[in-house]
Structure 1
Amino acid sequence: MKVIPNLLVFFFDLFLAIILVNGSTSDRERKPYIVYMGNVPEEAGISAVKEHHSLLTTAIGDEKLARESKIHSYGKSFNGFVARLLPHEAKRLSEEESVVSVFENTRRKLHTTRTWDFLGMSEKLQKRNSKAQSNIIVGLLDTGIWVESPSFNDKGFGPPPAKWKGKCVTGANFTRCNKKVIGARYYNLDNALDTNTDQKSPVDTDGHGTHTSSTAAGETVKGSSLYGIAQGTARGGVPSARIAMYKVCWSGGCADMDILAAFDDAIGDGVDLISISIGGPSRSYFDDSISIGSFHAMKKGILTACSAGNDGPYQGTVENVAPWIMTVAASTIDRKFVTAVKLGNGMRTSGISINTFSPRKAMYPLTNGARAANVTAEIYGNVSACDYGTLSMKKVKGKIVYCLGSGSQDYTIDHLQGAGTIMAVDAPTDIAIATLIAGTFVVPEVGIKIDQYINSTKNPQAVIYKTRVVNTSTAPFIASFSSRDILAAYSELASVTGLPGDRRIVPFNILSGTSMACPHAAAAAAYVKSFHPDWSPAAIKSALMTTATPMKTKSDDAELASGSGQINPTKAVHPGLIYDLNLSSYTRFLCKEGYNSTAIGRLIGRKKKLNCSTIRPAQGLDGLNYPSMHFHLTNESSISAIFRRTVTNVGFAKSLYKATVHSPKGLSVTVSPRVLTFSRSHQTRSFTVLVKGSMQSGASILSALLEWSDTKHSVKSPILVYKQFPPLF
């Protein structure tokens, strides 16, 4: 039965291919492609814009159409352009020697009061270099910023640092920057805005960008909360630092071409670090806008922190994986948001949510999807899940409704004028989500008891109480979807949930996701940089990784997700040893990975033609002087790997470090030499790690830990051997 449709697809594809070859496809089928050409040309007299036009004219075959097709030229920090092309024109451009890569523009997605105390940076922390911190500029690529937030008050700030070359672009609901938020730009190269939600300016109508900005570098604001929930002092990790916002995300997502334009500007503007809580499926380093932008940032000494994505806990879901990026996962802090429920039979239970509503009555009528179904429910979906269209307003109005959850039933119940919802979710309830009406998420076991109660009486009742904060000693552990539950500043042009009908406008909101974790790591990096302004991005990243606290893991998936552990910013200021990397290190790595010599040469801006076969090869299994070590088994079970590393002494001038290895049964780890002796600061020493053993049948991961110690410093490197099984789907 499937043969005929497949044949039709084949002939359609063949027909389309013929059209493309002939070049007669309608211009309306042209799509934006990014043409990346590596480093900005240094040769005198070369105009990047003219070169772009010449390449386009050659590929398209018509000078006027080439001029009309070009959308934007990049040329401040790297070389390239974006144009509307047909597939065969894109292919023709990719074959040009001056072009590194050509890839279609895609849209990516967006992936505190207590947090900084939990990470060891209390409000009264004495170890701050405030003067240096005020000269640090944190650039954020996000949804914009609400500069009127108290977190961005510029009282006591001097003028922007002399190195700042950026702009403050005004527009709708955005009339100024200040001495705290010193720069703001917005990018919409495709001119594709939703006139109902998007505003053509750097203003934040979503809330995400304001939240991440204040988490990284927000001013200290006492008495902050969300309707009394999570009350305390909200502040960023580096409250004295400056903020530059680059708005690249709109209601339709975050376009690659806008992300690259923002990187191009941010690098030239003089930012010190970049935080970008945006992601998409992993691609080749040269076909990925964030990978490209962050590489050129690294060349200028700018560390880029990126969120790892929220598609966990399964293998192969991490995003933003280029080794020059600091990729940040999400973990818990030492509190959770509990929403209590009481049933008419006296049963008390609780779930997890951000419920800002206090009950107005002692009890409310309670029902479930089956009892509240309308006569045409089967047409629309699953009544037990309260799918939209399955329920009767008459049977829901004024009642709390129990639903088998997917997490969005609160909108449906609110639309039907319900009083609240209890959602049983067949997933870990370890993140708190704000609900549109009174609501909470419970585990299935609790849900079954609630459903049984509803079906056991003619007049079931319940009440949902306002969320309260409960301290927990189990933190930190990796969040199931990959900072979690973070209170930070919010835009007053966005509601608490962002859902239609939500009229709650607040100065602070609680959000979860790796988006929230990313600015924490960026701020930690800025904190380290305020003490070590000359350190490279790799050195700062190494300091944060090797001083991190190993995570509490309960499964193989969590082991893969936990990385080096939870950052400890105050320890990272004095790491003892660092694993540093420079441009030549990345060059050898890219050669080892099999990338084209010409493309690598253009990427790094090499004047002479690069030949990977003639440069010193990357040594060891992974070929990169990285603070962690990993080995990926394919089909075999025998383990044999050699890692070569070099460390730089940034601790005591005269010091002696001894190696200690913690390894599981079945894994042998040998370090040579086992003692490293340093006689001066910034001296380097090299060592080799030999890993041998076998993976037992049914096992997928073996992990070890290498620790160098001089009794004052502990420099930790995780060693991971894993075997990736075929995907389940």
Structure 2
Amino acid sequence: METHLRRSSPLLFMQVLLFSFTRLLLASYGSLLPVIDENGSDLRTYIVHVSNPKDVVFTSPEDREAWHRSFLPSGDLQSGRPRMVFSYEKAISGFAARLTPEEVEAMRNVEGFLSALPDEELEPLTTYTSYFLGLNRVNGPWNATKMGAGMIVGVIDSGINPFHASFDDANMPPPPKRWRGKCDFNKSPVCNNKLIGARNFAASTHLPFDVTGHGTHVASTVAGNFVQDANVNGYAAGVASGVAPRAHLAIYKAKSNSELLAAVDQAIYDRVDVLSISMGLPSERFYHRNSIAVGALAATEHGILVNCAAGNSGPFHATLHNDAPWVMTVAATTTDRALSVELRLGNGVIHRGETLDGLHKFPDVSLPLVFPGDSDNNGERTCVDRMLGGIDVAGKIVLCVGDEMVPPSIPGQVVARAGAAAMILANSASRGYTILVDPSDLPTVRISHSDAQEIISYLRSFPNPGVRLIPRGTMYGLLPSPAVAHFSSRGPSTVNGGVVKPDILAPGVNILGATLSGSSFAVMSGTSMAAPHVSGVAALIKAAHPRWSPAAIKSAMMTTSYARDKSGSWLTDQTGNKASIYATGAGHVNPLRASDPGLVYDIDPRDYVGYLCGVGYGDDEVSIVARRTVNCAAVKTITAEQLNYPIIAMTIWSGWPQNVSRTVTNVGQSPAMYTVAVDMAACVEVTVTPSTLSFTRPNQRMTFTATFTPVGRFIPGMTFSGELRWVSASHVVRSPLSVFFS
């Protein structure tokens, strides 16, 4: 594959080869390993982290690749297939190569080797939202930021359908002059002023075409152009667009760790402004073993804000993905839109559900309602058992209970084959009020767990229960909204030392986006859908403030987010109760205020190295993440509490007061005076010094200290939340507080 890594410097190339050959003679593989036959071997791709050689400066990608090849036992496999898969320049210090476990073990004796990790497949963490976010208001962000014009958003995902109307370049300016990317679509004129680049790094394909629809949906959410008459089966009809409709898109197709690192490498070279990643590893792991974390830090150091999906393993705690402090970790919420169906029971009681089925698919009369789930047989309750409890369902409406481990299409197929007229699919208790809609084989209505319990009670109380399903089209203004989705992964992080995650919430339930056909749309749900909303907002902020750092843009979104829903109540979760800070992070993204935050909590990327040392990573582990040799003994260490993060978290180990400091930068008007206000649980007293901050000039920095003092007895293991606000005549800068009693 031709990439930016194809430049040469013959003299240094020979120097590196000589240096490498000498080094390998001195630190050999012990006994020589044979050239590997791919058939029958346990050959696989490994990501290998190495130190750069001292006193050698690479002046070309070929020189660097020669150094990387010096670690390999042979240049090619017995089949002639090259061992080297990727030689990385920016994303990590290292390479990806085809090796056996024995070869990796032998490589550990080679000077400069740090670690090797088997490559892994990544998992996808999968119209109206622009209006829901307030983007199109008269004085809204689109006017102030020219809809993200001039910004380049990189999307690392499953590729793209370049022929969809969302990627038409009507009214789009040419790419910025700094753009260095290219288009991999067989030299055909596919790319344009909207889709300015598309690269393929996936080994299983040759072109960046999307075959799953995930990447296409994500890209249209970030920066899709305006498309008239967008809808799915008549629902959610309107004008569709991405959050930053005038931003440019650069697509990088990747499916595994090694491919993602190659995509990050290329995106840095191409000079994107924002990077959106709606994929994650199967499980969270320490950062020196996490390619997304390592690549994201490289991008951050090059001024690129990386937005990642938080994961879809909720509602359970400690299930986060992508929780490094330099990453914007995005969780998912509902909106106030419903694709509504009225369920009118035989006793006159009305419940509300949602559907993706067309308005004319439902029977227009009341039909008998049956429930195969009165036994203890889970297969009958979930309608995956073809016997359906021995009930005759032909011509009737069947109530089934959803199962987290069973795709909704399966009960739909079972019930349809039995001759049912329609299906009501009830949420399990863990899904609560979060209703996801999916395509189905017969007319299907999804209902909340609470509604399901009432309908089951009705079924058991009336001798001839019936129901009529009446489509009501798309409804807006429903409450409570937004609410945290049941699937959205929760904190706390198990690997970041105490930095509160996720960072922010964004719409991620029943999101309309582009699909694989030319002009149609699909509805998808997941934190995969939430992350591109935040990537789009980041592009709008960057357009307004091109010199802001990734940490400043991140801070602006977090401190201007809102913690109360449209009714003024605290944000809730799928149970209807107040959501915890480990579900909401700072709150729901608010583009109306994010470009004018007043103050920001900025972070120098070098502080992340001090943080890694401070939370207990060793020298080699920090060197892998930092992509350079690090001696923690020579680094000013920073604990998780001390990192200049917009959320202030404190662990209290005893009854004594504990302090933490933060530095804020004035990015608003000057002069300006801010006064502190604190809300906290009664068991913790928070004192802030100084209590006022007076700024006399732009970009002035001031530091304050917050002292946390336990009041009375406290219970170990409890977490209490609150907020600290800096209030001026024109701004409220809000930082959530989290106190954990250890």
Q: TM-score, normalised by structure 1?
A: 0.82
Aligned to 2:18: none
Which range moves more in the overlay, 557-566 or 413-422?
A: 413-422
| 2:358 pairs with 1:336 | no
Q: Deviations over 1:268-295 (max 9, x none)?
A: 1121101111123221112112111111
The one-letter amino acid paired with 1:182 is I
Task: Tell me what 1:386 maps to.
Answer: 383
* Per-residue deviation, 1:426: 2.1
Alignment partner of 1:651: what SS? coil
Shift of 1:351: 2.5
Label 1:445 to 1:124 Cα distance change in 2 as closer, same or farther (>3 A): closer
Counterparts in 2 of 1:16-31, with a 5 A limit? 28-31=41-44
CA shift at 1:473, angstroms? 3.7
- Structure 2 letter corresponding to 1:170: F
Q: Cα deviation per residue 1:13-57 (whole Å; 9 max; x = unaligned)?
A: xxxxxxxx9989985222322113378984448822222221122
Pair 1:431 & 2:431 matched: no
SS at match of 2:122: strand
Q: Which residue is 1:499 aligned to? A: none
Residue-by-residue CA offset, 1:112-135 (whole Å, 9 max, x unaligned): x23222323225446535669321
TM-score (norm. length: structure 2): 0.81
Give the alignment partner of residue 477 of structure 2, picking from 456, 459, 471.
471
Of residues 124-133 and 586-595 in structure 1, the stretch that sits farther from structure 2 once superposed is: 124-133
CA distance in 2, matches of 1:639, 1:423: 53
CA distance in 2 between partners of 1:556 and 1:632 (Å): 22
1:713 equivalent to 2:731? Answer: yes
Matched, 1:542 2:555: yes
Which residue pairs with 2:645 in the alignment? 626
Deviation at 1:410, TM superposition (A): 1.9
Relative to structure 1, is the Cα distance of residues 641 and 561 closer, same or farther in structure 2, using a 3 angstrom cutoff?
farther
TM alignment of 1:517-532, pairs within 5 A: 517-532=530-545
SS of equivalent to 1:466: strand
How many Å separate the matches in 1 of 2:373 and 2:605? 63
Q: Contact conserved, 1:214 with 1:488, CA < 8 A, in 2?
A: no
Specify the alignment match of 2:251 in structure 1: 245
Counterpart of 2:371 in structure 1 is 368
Aligned residues: 665
2:170 is aligned to: 155
Within 1, Cα distance between the matches of 2:472 and 2:723? 40
Alignment partners' CA distance in 2, 1:698 and 1:76:
44
Q: Is the 8 A contact 2:288 2:624 kept in 1?
A: no
Is residue 369–residue 391 contact of structure 1 (8 Å, CA) maintained in 2?
yes
Q: 2:228 matched to which residue of 1?
A: 222
In structure 2, how many angstroms separate the alpha carbons of the residues matched to 1:171 and 1:103? 33
Q: Amino acid of the residue matched to residue 412 of structure 1?
A: V
Q: Is this contact kept in 2: 1:226–1:506, CA < 8 A?
A: no
Structure 2 portions without partners, runs of 5+: 1-30, 489-506, 565-569
Separation in 2, partners of 1:39, 1:710: 49
Q: 1:665 aligns with which of 674, 682, 691?
A: 682
Worse-matched range after superposition: 455-464 or 516-525: 455-464
Q: d(CA) in 1 for partners of 2:321 and 2:453? A: 36
Return the alpha-carbon distance in structure 2 between the equivalents of residues 423 and 52 of structure 1. Answer: 55
After TM superposition, the structure 1 stretch with the greater mean CA deviation from structure 2, 479-488 or 459-468, is 459-468
C-alpha deviation, 1:317, in angstroms:
1.0
Q: Distance in 1 between matches of 2:300 and 2:640?
A: 24
- Structure 1 residues 631 and 421, CA gap change in structure 2 (3 angstroms): same
Q: Deviations over 1:590-634 (max 9, x none)?
A: 22123333554565465xx5432223333x66231111111346x
Query: Once superposed, what is the RMSD of the aligned Cα atoms?
Result: 3.5
Are residues 1:490 and 2:490 paired?
no
Change in 2 beyond 3 A, CA 1:255/1:709: same
Number of the residue aligned with 2:16: none
Matches of 2:201 and 2:455 in 1, distance apart? 49
Taking the aligned partners of 2:708 and 2:418, their CA distance within structure 1 comes to 61
| Matched residue, 1:422 | 424
Does the 8 A contact of 2:172 with 2:193 survive in 1? yes
Q: Relative to 1, partners in 2 of residues 1:658 and 1:508: Cα closer, same or farther, differing over 3 Å? A: same
Partner of 2:633: 613
Aligned-pair distance for 1:328?
Answer: 0.7
Match of residue 304, structure 2, among 302, 305, 313: 302
| Alpha-carbon spacing, 1:708–1:126, altered in 2? closer, same or farther (3 Å) | closer
Alpha-carbon distance, 1:221 to partner: 2.5
Match of 1:51 in 2: 67
C-alpha contact 2:372 2:391 (8 A) present in aligned 1: no
Q: Aligned equivalents of 1:699 and 1:587: distance in 2?
A: 29
Q: CA deviation at 1:719?
A: 1.2
Judged with a 3 Å threshold, the aligned counterparts in structure 2 of structure 1 residues 66 and 295 are, in CA distance, closer, same or farther, namely farther
Change (3 A) 1:74 1:362: same
- The 2-side partners of 1:338 and 1:22 are apart by 68
- Segments of 4+ moved more than 6 angstroms: 21-26, 38-41, 60-67, 455-459
Alpha-carbon distance change, 67 to 230 in structure 1, aligned in 2, over 3 angstroms: closer
Corresponding position of 1:403: 400
Q: For 1:547-601, what per-residue CA distance to the aligned partner results, in whole angstroms no more than 9, with x for missing partners?
A: 1112424557633211111122232212121111123211211221233335545
Which residue is equivalent to 1:207? 213
Q: Residue 72 of structure 1: which of 71, 86, 96 is its match?
A: 86
- Using the alignment, how far apart are the partners of 1:316 and 1:523 within structure 2? 27
Counterpart of 1:511 in structure 2 is 524
Distance 1:597 1:177, change over 3 A: same
Partner of 1:563 in structure 2? Answer: 585
Q: Which residue of 1 aligns with 2:119?
A: 105
The Cα offsets for residues 427-470 of structure 1, whole Å up to 9 and x where unpaired, read as 31323312413112334564456456667888765443336324
Q: Which amino acid aligns with 1:574?
A: D
How many angstroms apart in 2 are the aligned matches of 1:638 and 1:96?
51
- How far residue 412 of structure 1 moved from its aligned partner, in angstroms, is 3.0
**Contact 1:137–1:242 (CA under 8 A) maintained in structure 2:** yes
Q: Distance in 1 between matches of 2:621 and 2:137?
A: 48
Stretch deviating more after TM superposition (286-295 or 216-225): 216-225
* Aligned twin of 2:601: 579
* Matches of 1:658 and 1:464, distance apart in 2: 55
Deviations 1:392-420 (A, max 9, x none): 99944544322232262223324555432
The alpha-carbon distance between structure 1 residues 92 and 131, as it changes in their structure 2 partners (threshold 3 A), is farther
Task: Find the aligned partners of 2:453 and 2:286 in 1 and give their Cα distance.
Answer: 46
- CA pair 38-171 structure 1, distance change in 2 beyond 3 A: farther
2:19 aligned residue: none
The structure 2 residue matched to 1:289, chosen from 267, 281, 291, is: 291
